[in-house]
Amino acid sequence: MKILLVGLGRWGEKHLRVLGELGVRLWVADVSAARLAWAVRQGVEPGCAVADYRAALAHVDAVDIVTPADTHYGVARDSLAAGRHCFIEKPLARMAEEGRELEAAASAAGRLVQIGHIFRFHPVTATLRQALAAGRIGRVRYATGRFAGFKRPRADVGVTQTDAIHYFDLFAHLFGRLATQVSAIQRDYLGRGLDDLSWTVVHYGDIPAVVEANYFVPGTWRDCVIVGERGALVADYATSVVTLHLGGHLERSEAWEAVETGKEELPTGRAEPLKLELQTFLDACAGRAPNPVPVADGVRALAVVEAAALAARLGRTVML
């Protein structure tokens, strides 16, 4: 299969490596001559490195879009018009409406669009799904997620759209439910016109999930907690550790006690999420498997992002 990788930034570098390991015939496109030269040094054929991605569309089967979010729509639109399958890194686009237009374009072209919600392919997620399906913590009461750390802010979209969106999609995936209502607090401390800190409460039916995202907390935090009636699952995506805590509250002699009944570290795999994700894209393009993250899922995650921005601006809950 011949793949065009559009975008050779920090994350594009990882895509280049993984696609090479998966054995595809690779074309690359980037507006930077220096980045194209770097790709050639990594083994890309000089004739397959172009400044304008449109020059390569006739030579490939599919396009992997790893550019800033505000360019996703245009690149995907052109690629679908050329009859090419698309992998689009999250967020799908700037706005949910653009995502819906791409969904219609993909349907009209008879091509698939897979969205890069990589947490779905993380071994931690597989372990969480197994534990929830087995009823290890009973009925889920609520969840929390944190994607935070002291780092360089993105310049294309705010922190809710680039980081909190991971958990908006993940919790829908884990609970098998769509988001129904959203409330949020957002701040633009750096004065860039983009949120750099947010707390979002998303309800998936009767399950509320609190998601924190920011660029300020020291360290790197990629964790979530899922609390059920018989215990809790504590997951750290940075270290690939999932811990099951069992216990509950019992009323004894007119007083309540917190009773712990067990603690267990659950096994997780060690496969690279990006490699699993891109392999599923190749399989879906070849008709060997269904599209695991269709464009409709990317649209739903963006709808939560937009509802959070509206809720923060109005100071009230927004229904979906």
pLDDT digits (tens, 9 = 90+) for 80-118: 999 999 999 999 999 999 999 999 999 999 999 999 999
**d(Cα 174, Cα 169) in Å, to the nearest integer?**
9
Better-scored residue on pLDDT, 252 or 173: 173
Over the stretch 7-38, which tens digit does the pLDDT of each residue have? 999 999 999 999 999 999 999 999 999 999 99
Written as one string, the DSSP assignment of 22-63 is TT-EEEEE-S-HHHHHHHHHTT--GGGEESSGGGTGGG-SEE
Homologous superfamily of the 120-270+302-319 domain (CATH): Dihydrodipicolinate Reductase; domain 2 (3.30.360.10)
Domain boundary assignment for the chain: 2-116, 120-270+302-319
Reported confidence tier of residue 133, pLDDT bands at 50, 70, 90: very high
When the pLDDT of each residue in the chain is averaged and rounded to a whole number, the result is: 97
Q: Is the pLDDT assigned to residue 306 strictly greater than 90?
A: yes
Whether the domain at 2-116 and the domain at 120-270+302-319 fall into the same CATH topology: no
Whole-structure pTM value: 0.96
Q: Which amino acid is at 276?
A: L
Q: Is the pLDDT assigned to residue 254 strictly greater than 90?
A: no
Q: 3-class DSSP state for residue 182?
A: strand
**d(Cα 60, Cα 21) in Å, to the nearest integer?**
18
Q: Which two tokens stand for residue 142?
A: 């609520």
Over the stretch 111-121, which tens digit does the pLDDT of each residue have? 999 999 999 99
- Peptide bond preceding 91: is omega within 30 degrees of 0, i.e. cis? yes
Evaluate the CA torsion angle 284, 132, 125, 318 in order and state its sign.
Answer: positive
Reported confidence tier of residue 174, pLDDT bands at 50, 70, 90: very high
Burial (CB < 10 A; 0-12, 13-18, 19+), residue 16, is buried
Homologous superfamily of the 2-116 domain (CATH): NAD(P)-binding Rossmann-like Domain (3.40.50.720)
Q: How many CA atoms lie within 13 A of 73 on its CB side?
A: 12
Reported confidence tier of residue 142, pLDDT bands at 50, 70, 90: very high
Tokens 């959203």 found at: 182
Contacts for 261-270: CB closer than 8 Å, 24+ residues apart: 261/231, 262/231, 265/241, 266/127, 266/130, 266/131, 266/242, 267/127, 268/123, 268/124, 268/126, 268/127, 268/240, 268/241, 268/242, 269/123, 269/126, 269/127, 270/123, 270/240
Q: Which two tokens stand for residue 36?
A: 């194209």
Reported confidence tier of residue 253, pLDDT bands at 50, 70, 90: confident
pLDDT > 70 in the chain, percent: 100
**d(Cα 170, Cα 224) in Å, to the nearest integer?**
10
Q: Look at phi and psi of residue 280 and say left if phi exceeds 0, alpha if psi is from -120 to 50, else beta.
A: alpha
State phi, psi for 213 to the nearest 5 degrees. Answer: -145, 135
Mean pLDDT of the 59-74 span: 97
